[in-house]
Amino acid sequence: NAGVTQTPKFQVLKTGQSMTLQCAQDMNHEYMSWYRQDPGMGLRLIHYSVGAGITDQGEVPNGYNVSRSTTEDFPLRLLSAAPSQTSVYFCASSLSGTEYNSPLHFGNGTRLTVT
Amino acid sequence: AQSVSQHNHHVILSEAASLELGCNYSYGGTVNLFWYVQYPGQHLQLLLKYFSGDPLVKGIKGFEAEFIKSKFSFNLRKPSVQWSDTAEYFCAVILPRPLNTGTASKLTFGTGTRLQVML
């Protein structure tokens, strides 16, 4: 049982490049989400999904796309990277989206730098 | 919109000192409250949570938090900190949603408090 796995751990991009941050969980969790963590701003929700085929926007969705074709995977795509997207990205999952009995399980994060 | 405030951005304590980290939220209805901890170089993990019942919640590693509804607060406490408690602590709030609505509750985090425990 690996939990939530994020790849890559580190990435450097040039402005305008695109890339996909991968997130996979093996706990059969319905709810998955992406956060970015920036100094002094805590964690901010980018996008989330309550199940395969269902996604919704979080607090800071601009510049990011997501899809959820399977229960296990929830990739985050940056179509045209900008320096403002330099951050640490965390994927998290939970059994259900209501949080009553299912706290978030976090991945180890991806540190992204956009130059 | 709901928000969470953590007024202590950086706290430095000596070992064995007592700890209290403040957390206030801005919502007048029923909320669920959490404290997460992030040790250096690691991901966030749950310390404790409050849903209902006893407002004094005990978590892992000797931490506890008290929910005071009249003050919209959920402060984290530990009677005697250890060097290994050095970490960043995040308070988070979520508004309960009815089940089977097809929507998810959104967890809102505070900006975090960096705790540094000196030997």
> Mean pLDDT for each 10-residue chunk of chain A (115 residues)?
91 97 95 91 90 90 96 96 96 74 84 96
Write b or e for each residue in B64-84: b if 16 or more Cβ atoms lie within 10 A of its Cβ, otherwise e.
bbbbeeeebbbbbebeebeee
Helix, strand, coil shares of chain B, percent, nearest 5, are: 10, 45, 45
Closest CA–CA distance from residue B119 to any residue of chain A (Å): 26
User: How would DSSP label each residue in A35-81?
Assistant: EEEETTTEEEEEEEEEETTEEEE-SS-TTEEE--SSSSB--EEESS-
Which residue of chain A has the CA closest to B10? A40
Residues A115, A15: contact at Cβ < 8 Å?
yes
Q: How far apart are CA A87 and CA B30, in angstroms?
A: 32
- Confidence at residue A98, expressed as pLDDT on a 0 to 100 scale: 56
Tell me the shortest Cα–Cα distance from B14 to chain A, in angstroms: 24
Beta carbons within 10 angstroms of residue A30's beta carbon: 17
Interchain pair B43, A109: CB under 8 A = yes
d(CA B42, CA B12): 20
Digit-coded pLDDT (tens) for B10-45:
999 999 999 999 999 987 777 889 999 999 988 899
**What distance in Å separates residue B9's CA from the closest CA in chain A?**
8
pLDDT of residue A101: 57
Burial of residue A78, with CB atoms counted within 10 A of its CB: 0-12 exposed, 13-18 middle, 19 or more buried: buried
Predicted pLDDT at B98: 52
- Does pLDDT of B1 surpass 70? no
Residue B77 confidence (pLDDT): 98
Q: Which residues pair with A66 in a beta bridge?
A: A76
**What local confidence, expressed as pLDDT, does residue A96 receive?**
73
Q: How confident is the model at residue B7 (pLDDT cuts 50, 70, 90)?
A: confident
Least CB–CB distance from A58: residue in B32, B46, B106: B106
Q: CA of A107 to nearest chain B CA: how many angstroms apart? A: 6
pLDDT of residue B112: 94
Q: Which residues of A touch B112 (CB under 8 A)?
A: 42
Q: Which residue's structure tokens are 């998810």?
A: B104
Q: What are φ and ψ of residue B85, in 5° steps?
A: -85, -5
Chain B CA closest to residue A32: B104
Say which of B90, B103, B106 has its CB closest to residue A45: B106
Question: Which chain B residues are closer than 8 Å to A100 by Cβ?
Answer: 32, 51, 96
Query: What's the pLDDT at A97?
Result: 59
Do the Cβ atoms of B46 and A104 come within 8 Å? Answer: yes
Interface mutation vs chain A, best among B30, B109, B113, B114, most A CBs within 10 Å: B109
- Is-contact A112 A22, C-beta < 8 A? no
pLDDT tens per residue, range B55-80: 999 999 999 999 999 999 999 999 99
The tens digit of pLDDT for each residue in B75-103 reads 999 999 999 999 999 999 886 655 545 45
Q: Do A42 and B9 touch (CB under 8 A)?
A: no
Q: What is the DSSP letter of B106?
A: P
The C-alpha atoms of residue B116 and residue B88 are separated, in whole angstroms, by 9
Return the bridge partners of A91, or none: A34
pLDDT of res. A81: 97
